[in-house]
């Protein structure tokens, strides 16, 4: 997930935990000494294009219709034997289309040894977006200390990530050292090698060394740079750490997980193969189905895990994990593939924790929401994919804000509607303009272009002597406008598929897996009044904070008190959770849409600082996230029968809310779409097709009211305890008869036959009850 920190200082380096030392004429803000000052490096993060956000148009309050019956889709089981079309296969894996992956390792250093990065954090800051030299000459250098002997194989460079400047290094030299005193240049035969750098700010350029070099220190020495800019760069240093036979402690620290899982990156073919192998190994608890296709025709496969796959069981909650919304944020994809393998293996071995989870929860795992984007990033690999390549879909959609913006619909209706009782706060219908092809594109395109002209005028005032830069910026703004109108206002086929999936299955809890940061965000993701950043809580804010804390506090990387920030924002001060809108506003996010259009509560998990970690990092990332993935699912499992595996502070058990079944008092049939209202929480939910419901709540006493069309509302008290078992709150509703009969008699109309039959049935039942009471009295 992108944010404002992506416009600030960024240094990509596979030598994770290495130290950076800047040359004697270099500048870094808040640095007491530019000589021999150590800074940590982070890898796998890329630059970001600023999006232009239009002002919302206010719809009529009548958009709050209670008629919210979506078309229900049925997802058939897939056997994964379907052949891929030849043209699509050629585009994905055609000869020469995919670069060979670069097999490089990285270095781990205890975070306690590393200080924090200091850099600019605001647009316009002179120091933001890269390392920059103080002077423009060939004596400037940038140094990395790997802390131990390393076989260096190359570097990857990018320009400065800033909307206010246009800086990159066009050529550079490299030097090596074992003591930081004597330096040896990288040679190309008999001459010192000069490597080609960048021609723009964003494209990663690989400089592979003619021969690997073993050393501890490496320096990058810029030689030429963009003529209208200055010396600025971002760098990723490639190499393999050499093992020290005398350091036994190091071997213990680097011990990885013992789980026997397939730790590697899987393209579309390999993902299908792995999912099929899991299904064949555990056919009784797994089912594979597809919810739709991507623009290029790749299927969006889902692995269902349940003791009765393919069927919603009464009272059993539905859970989902979604990964790969941004195709180049690949860790979530691999974690879900690992998770389905792990559950299958542990279930077969009789792990009671996993067995209970499978029996009491219907789990859905969507490992790749944006398979087209993933394949684009996969072709380039971890090093050269760049920040944006693969983030968007093939057609340029950013699915992170491609869902209907129901926040504005709700807030605008609140302002326009004088009778607040007519407003609804859940199951908000999707506006017609969201699905129509040309409804708002032309109007908003004009508004955006007007904003673009103002932006270009501002650039002209700031940089009157840089016409070339202004020309490039103008082109970039035009690209943003095109991307916005094509990607933001039109709905991607992948987004449509996920919306249909949401509407078809009564999900209760979900998490959306991203990458590029270590934090859990919770709704709302969009700030009110289109503010760039503002705390915007939901009515269920306390519960969402608890949910986010459950994942963050059990994640090994997030919960490490000594860890370094991924970038310039230290989320450890907030316990590694943040309100999404208070980080950066995202109109049309899946989290907000899920909360406002369905019953499902959803958070976003930023899994790792690196969006595309290397293969040898995957076991470590699985170890960091395994417990979090399980514990988060168990929060819903507790809604069913409760579990005894999760312990919280002071060894107290955790409880999740209330559940029950809403039935017709006379026929005993379940009532679908009944509204469940909790006093003092301005957000309702609805019952599923068979009348079962789940309401996530923190411990406490609640007055719960259930309403349904044609029935008399019923209110009862429900107490949510701290115990591990759920609170069962069933409701029996009586049909409304007397008000309808009274209305007919007032208007002197004939009583319909079905109402006459209903009255006769009620009289007979009343007589039967009186007779039974008379017998019991005797």
Note whether 540 and 722 are within 8 A (CB): no
Note whether 141 and 223 are within 8 A (CB): no
CA distances from 627 to 125, 621, 633 (A): 40, 11, 10
The residues annotated with a catalytic role in the active site are: 606
CA distances from 392 to 483, 623, 720 (A): 10, 29, 42
Burial 341-358 (b: 16+ CB within 10 A, else e): bbbbbbbeeeeeebbbbb
User: How close are the terminal C-alpha atoms of the chain, in Å?
Assistant: 74
Query: Six-digit token pair at 583?
Result: 């980080």
Q: What is the 3-state secondary structure (H, E, C) of 293-360?
A: ECCCCCEEEEEEECCCCCCCCCCCCEEEEEECCCCCCCHHHHHHHHHHHHHHHHHHCCCHHHHHHHHH
Note whether 654 and 554 are within 8 A (CB): no
Q: Which helix (H) or strand (E) holds 209?
A: strand 205-225
Note whether 187 and 193 are within 8 A (CB): yes
Which is nearest to 198 in space by CA: 232, 175, 168? 168
Helices then strands, counting H and E runs in the chain, come out as 17, 28
Helix, strand, coil % (nearest 5) of the chain? 30, 20, 45
The C-alpha angle 700, 701, 702, rounded to 5 degrees, equals: 115
The C-alpha angle 166, 169, 175, rounded to 5 degrees, equals: 155
What stretches of 464-519 show up as alpha helix (H) in DSSP? 467-483, 493-504
Burial of 772 (0-12, 13-18, 19+ CB in 10 A): exposed
Provide CB contacts within 8 A for 418, sequence distance 6+.
Answer: none
DSSP SS3 for 211? strand
Neighbours of 176 (CB within 10 A): 19
- Cis peptide bond prior to 648, omega within 30° of 0: no
Note whether 328 and 373 are within 8 A (CB): yes
DSSP symbol at 77: B
Note whether 627 and 551 are within 8 A (CB): no
Dihedral through CA 10, CA 13, CA 15, CA 18, nearest 10?
Answer: -30
DSSP SS3 for 215? strand
Provide CB contacts within 8 A for 27, sequence distance 6+.
Answer: 34, 127, 132, 133, 134
């Amino acid at each position: 997930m992108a944010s404002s920190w992506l416009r600030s200082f960024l240094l990509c380096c596979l030598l994770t935990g290495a130290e950076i030392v800047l040359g004697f004429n270099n500048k870094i803000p808040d640095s007491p000494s530019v000589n021999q000052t150590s800074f940590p490096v982070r890898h796998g993060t890329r630059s970001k294009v600023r999006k232009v956000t239009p002002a919302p148009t206010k719809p009529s309050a009548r958009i709050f219709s209670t008629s919210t019956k979506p078309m229900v889709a049925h997802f058939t089981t897939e056997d994964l034997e379907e052949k891929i079309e030849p043209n699509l296969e050629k585009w994905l894996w055609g000869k020469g289309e995919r670069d060979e992956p670069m097999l490089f390792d990285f270095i781990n250093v205890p975070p306690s040894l590393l200080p924090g990065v200091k850099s600019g954090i605001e647009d316009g800051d002179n120091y933001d977006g890269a390392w920059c030299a103080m002077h423009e000459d060939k004596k400037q250098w940038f140094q990395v200390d790997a802390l131990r002997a390393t076989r260096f194989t190359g570097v990857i460079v990018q320009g400065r990530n800033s909307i206010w400047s246009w800086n990159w290094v066009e050529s550079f030299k490299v030097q090596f050292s074992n003591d930081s005193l004597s330096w040896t240049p990288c040679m190309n035969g008999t001459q010192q090698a000069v490597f080609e750098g960048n021609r723009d700010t964003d494209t990663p350029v690989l400089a592979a060394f003619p021969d690997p070099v073993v050393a501890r220190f490496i320096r990058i020495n810029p030689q030429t740079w963009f003529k209208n800019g200055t010396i600025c760069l971002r760098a990723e240093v490639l190499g393999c750490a050499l093992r020290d036979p005398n350091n036994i402690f190091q071997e213990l620290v680097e011990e990885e997980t013992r789980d026997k899982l397939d730790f590697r990156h899987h393209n579309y073919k390999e993902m299908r193969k792995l999912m099929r192998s899991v299904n064949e190994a555990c056919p009784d608890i797994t089912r594979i189905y597809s919810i739709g296709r991507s623009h290029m025709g790749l299927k969006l496969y889902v692995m269902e895990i349940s003791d009765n796959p393919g069927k919603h069981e009464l009272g059993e909650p539905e859970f989902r994990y979604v990964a790969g919304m941004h195709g180049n944020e690949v860790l979530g994809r691999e974690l879900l593939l690992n998770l389905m393998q792990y559950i299958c293996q542990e279930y077969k071995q009789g792990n009671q924790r996993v067995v209970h989870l499978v029996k009491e929860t219907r789990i859905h795992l969507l490992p790749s929401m944006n398979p087209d984007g993933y394949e684009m990033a996969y072709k380039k690999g971890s090093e050269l994919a760049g920040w944006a390549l693969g983030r968007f879909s093939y057609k340029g959609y950013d699915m992170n804000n491609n869902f209907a913006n129901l926040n504005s619909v709700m807030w605008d209706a609140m302002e326009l509607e004088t009778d607040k009782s007519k407003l609804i706060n859940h199951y908000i219908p999707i506006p017609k303009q969201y699905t129509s092809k040309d409804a708002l594109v032309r109007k908003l395109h004009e508004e955006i272009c007007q904003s673009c002209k103002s932006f270009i005028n501002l650039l002209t005032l700031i940089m009157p002597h840089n016409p070339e830069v202004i020309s490039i910026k103008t082109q970039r703004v035009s690209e943003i406008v095109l991307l916005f109108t094509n990607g933001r206002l039109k709905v991607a086929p992948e987004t449509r598929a996920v919306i249909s999936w949401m509407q078809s299955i009564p999900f209760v809890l979900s998490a959306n897996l991203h990458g590029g940061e270590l934090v859990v965000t919770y709704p709302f993701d969009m700030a009110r009044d289109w503010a760039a950043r503002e705390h915007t809580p939901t009515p269920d804010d306390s519960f969402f904070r608890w949910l986010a804390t459950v994942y963050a506090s059990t994640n090994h990387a997030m919960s490490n008190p000594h860890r370094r920030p991924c970038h310039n924002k230290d989320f450890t001060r907030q316990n590694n959770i943040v309100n999404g809108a208070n980080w950066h506003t995202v109109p049309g996010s899946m989290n907000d849409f899920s909360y406002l259009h369905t019953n499902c509560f959803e958070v976003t998990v930023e899994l790792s600082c690196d969006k595309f970690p290397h293969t040898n990092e995957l076991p470590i990332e699985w170890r960091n996230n395994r417990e979090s993935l399980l514990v988060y699912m168990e929060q819903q499992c507790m809604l069913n029968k409760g579990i005894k595996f999760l312990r919280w502070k002071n060894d107290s058990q955790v409880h999740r809310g209330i559940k029950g079944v809403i039935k017709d008092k006379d026929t005993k049939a379940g009532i679908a779409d009944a509204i469940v209202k909790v006093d003092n929480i301005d957000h309702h939910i609805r019952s599923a097709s068979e009348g079962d419901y789940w309401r996530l709540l923190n411990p406490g006493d609640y007055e719960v009211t259930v309403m349904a069309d044609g029935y008399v509302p019923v209110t009862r008290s429900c107490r949510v305890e701290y115990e591990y078992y759920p609170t069962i709150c069933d409701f029996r509703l009586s049909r409304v008869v007397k008000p309808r009969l009274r209305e007919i008699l007032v208007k002197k109309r004939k009583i319909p036959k079905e109402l006459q039959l209903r009255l006769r049935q009620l009289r007979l039942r009343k007589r039967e009850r009186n007779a039974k009471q008379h017998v019991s009295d005797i």
